[in-house]
Amino acid sequence: MKLDGDGSLLRIYIGELDKFHHLPLYEAIVLKAREMGLAGATVLRGPMGFGAHSHLHTAKILRLSEDLPVLIEIVDKEDKIAAFLPELDKIMNDGLVTLEKVRVIKYQANPKKL
């Protein structure tokens, strides 16, 4: 797959302990993105953050919070991201979702590794 030019960056901010059925929410989102043929998704775990309720989540040793912030980034063409959004809405109850235009410089799979 080759992807370059104008695209969209979807960012999804959730908590590590958020669930969809019995799966971690971040896993359910990535699996749905893969099922729908999106170019790729990356899950990043943050050491500290807070959200709508202003509850601080941190990985400091003296704090016992295991519900750390999680960020999922998905980049693809605008139409593919737009098609994914209704499915994301079915999976997510809480969280923050942002969308911005990006210019993809290079995204290409090595055919020898496929």
CATH assignment of the domain containing 80: 3.30.70.120
Q: Is residue 71 part of a domain?
A: yes
- Spatial separation of the C-alpha atoms in residues 29 and 27, rounded to whole Å: 5
- Residue range 52-57: average pLDDT? 74
Domain count, the chain: 1
Structure tokens at 74: 């998905």
The overall pTM is greater than 0.75: yes
DSSP letter, residue 53: T
- Residue range 80-106: average pLDDT? 95
**Amino acid 95: pLDDT:** 92
pLDDT band at 102 (very low <50, low <70, confident <90, very high): very high
Q: How far is CA 78 from CA 1, 3, 33, in A?
A: 16, 12, 14
Q: Is residue 82 part of a domain?
A: yes
Q: Is residue 44 part of a domain?
A: yes
- Enclosing domain of residue 95: 5-108
When computed from its CA atoms, the radius of gyration of the chain, rounded to whole angstroms, is 16
Q: Among residues 78, 65, 72, which one has the least CA distance to residue 8?
A: 78
Q: Is residue 113 part of a domain?
A: no
pLDDT band at 34 (very low <50, low <70, confident <90, very high): very high
Q: Is residue 74 part of a domain?
A: yes
- Spatial separation of the C-alpha atoms in residues 103 and 3, rounded to whole Å: 10
Q: Is residue 114 part of a domain?
A: no
Are the C-beta atoms of 76 and 38 separated by less than 8 Å? yes
